[in-house]
Structure 1
Amino acid sequence: MNAPLRVLIACEISGVGRRAFAAQGHDVWSCDILPAEDGSNRHIMCDVRDGILNEGWDFLAVMHPPCTRLCRSGRRWMSGPGIWTPPKQLPAGRTWDDMKAEFEEGISIFNACWNAPIERVAVENPEMNDLAKARMPEDLPPPHIVQPFWFGEPQYKATGWYLRGVPKLVETNRLSEPERGSDEWRAWNKVHRMPPGPERAKLRSRSFPGMLDAAAMQWAGPAEERAAA
């Protein structure tokens, strides 16, 4: 296929991923149940499961699907010892049914995206807990884990990518890590040190421009070069 790719950036409102792929000359749209922060007219407000995945895309990047109940760090809220036993503790004001409903939502969105009829797929999600792994497709590979500082972003945040039809990301601008315990090191850990609050989940899921620029180049490449191939 030697033409600009039709790219869908799902579960993103910042526009970081959309702009990165658009900069390579591709036909790029984003979608989310919330409006785009940058007011772009190339953002579709919808649930990614409502049919948009069947609209002839060449590449799908899913930036921030619900993962709080799927990741290893969130397992303690889902189950106690064993499989689906009552958890010892729940978040304040939440019920076990709430946790299960959010778990099912995360499973549904992830599987819909992974199984989409699209040749190239990259889904951002951390390494999953055992409860989530049991509900994943048999062909799902382990996540490809990268760090923002591999791409010129002075931050620590292990980022997992589940990849189908695209290669693993190669670092482009690896920064030297600061001395552990230093002020700079603490600044690099700001994502993990964010205090609880209504904006915490949103801020922790922000895309890193350097990483997405590398992804757009390595997973799609310049549209002009594709047209000339």
Structure 2
Amino acid sequence: MRVLIGCEFSGVVRRAFTERGHDAWSCDLLPAADGSNRHIQGDVRDILNDGWDLLAVMHPPCTRLCRSGRRWMSGPGKWTQPKSLPRGRTLADMRAEFEEGVALFTACWNAPVERVAIENPEMNDLAKDRMPADLPRPQMVQPFWFGDPAYKATGMYLRGLPPLLPTDMLQEPERGSDEWKQWCAIHRAPPGPNRWAIRSTTFAGHAAAMAQQWGDLDGLTQDQRELHGAAA
């Protein structure tokens, strides 16, 4: 299977697919962190028509599409002046970043690829107004479903793919305990130049589940297909 991992420079998801024998490539504006020659540095939209079987877009810019960023873009109603803006930014800046986020998301969703998965948080109302009519609600997954002791609610918008099934469900720690605080490390990351990279982490267990369940989809037995269908 020819697999394109868009908006990924870490190589975590790409490696998970290549380890299972797939012809997998990553693409990002940044160079590959692991120095791989299976990475295309550039805009993923430039290569969407290159005959991929599966497209997984892992970290498209979502700051202006997600619910947490809504307060910076509008006050009451739609596109009215917000009460405040990030330091040094204008409402025009917010709108431009929003339009770019919408353009990238919709281009990937509408790509001529049979199977598409796009990671994005649940969207705010302004973003939902601009999304394709066939966009479903996202499947929300957590790293601890796949053996990684962490909280990071991750939305996966799926077309032509079944929802992911948990592979190694961990028992959640007691709320407020030291272990619970460790699981919340991503959300508790302090402001700084690397916070975006920390918050965009794809855990190895999640990547492995995608590669196993989506990469081997054609080889599923009927019982497995029915199990996936039940999970949907």
Please indicate, yes or no, whether the TM-score normalized by the shorter chain is above 0.5: yes
Do the aligned partners of 1:25 and 1:222 also contact (CA within 8 Å) in 2? no
Aligned pairs for 1:85-96 within 5 A: 85-96=80-91
Matched with 2:94 is 99
- Matched residue SS, 2:71: helix
Alpha-carbon distance between aligned partners in 2 of 1:140 and 1:122, rounded to the nearest angstrom:
11
Work out the number of aligned pairs and report it: 220
Residue 68 of structure 1 aligns with an amino acid whose one-letter code is T
Aligned pairs for 1:15-34 within 5 A: 15-34=11-30
- Matched residue SS, 1:54: coil
2:79 corresponds to which of 74, 81, 84: 84
- Matched residue SS, 1:203: helix
1:41 maps onto 2:37 in alignment: yes
Point out the more displaced range, 96-105 or 155-164. 96-105
Alpha-carbon distance between aligned partners in 1 of 2:95 and 2:69, rounded to the nearest angstrom:
12
1:65 maps onto 2:60 in alignment: yes
Q: Percent identity?
A: 70
TM-score of the two chains, using structure 2 as the length reference: 0.93
Residue 192 of structure 2 aligns with an amino acid whose one-letter code is G
1:116 maps onto 2:111 in alignment: yes
Matched with 2:193 is 198
Alpha-carbon distance between aligned partners in 2 of 1:203 and 1:108, rounded to the nearest angstrom:
25
- Matched residue SS, 1:186: helix
C-alpha displacement of 1:222: 8.5
- Matched residue SS, 1:29: strand
The CA deviation string for residues 202-221 of structure 1, in whole angstroms up to 9 with x for no partner, is: 11001111011001111112
C-alpha displacement of 1:132: 0.1
Matched with 1:10 is 6
Residue 12 of structure 1 aligns with an amino acid whose one-letter code is E
Alpha-carbon distance between aligned partners in 2 of 1:32 and 1:53, rounded to the nearest angstrom:
13
Q: After the TM superposition, which parts of structure 1 deviate over 3 Å for at least 4 consecutive aligned residues?
A: none
Aligned pairs for 1:171-190 within 5 A: 171-190=166-185
C-alpha displacement of 1:103: 0.6
Residue 65 of structure 1 aligns with an amino acid whose one-letter code is P
Matched with 1:167 is 162
C-alpha displacement of 1:189: 0.3
Unaligned runs of 5+ in 1: none
Matched with 1:219 is 214
The CA deviation string for residues 118-147 of structure 1, in whole angstroms up to 9 with x for no partner, is: 000000001000000000000000010011
Residue 73 of structure 2 aligns with an amino acid whose one-letter code is M
Aligned pairs for 1:138-177 within 5 A: 138-177=133-172
Residue 7 of structure 2 aligns with an amino acid whose one-letter code is C
TM-score of the two chains, using structure 1 as the length reference: 0.94
Do the aligned partners of 1:18 and 1:29 also contact (CA within 8 Å) in 2? yes
C-alpha displacement of 1:98: 1.2
What's the RMSD between the two structures over aligned residues? 1.2
The CA deviation string for residues 101-127 of structure 1, in whole angstroms up to 9 with x for no partner, is: 111111010000000000000000010
Unaligned runs of 5+ in 2: 221-232
| Distance change >3 Å, CA 127–CA 134, structure 1 → 2 | same
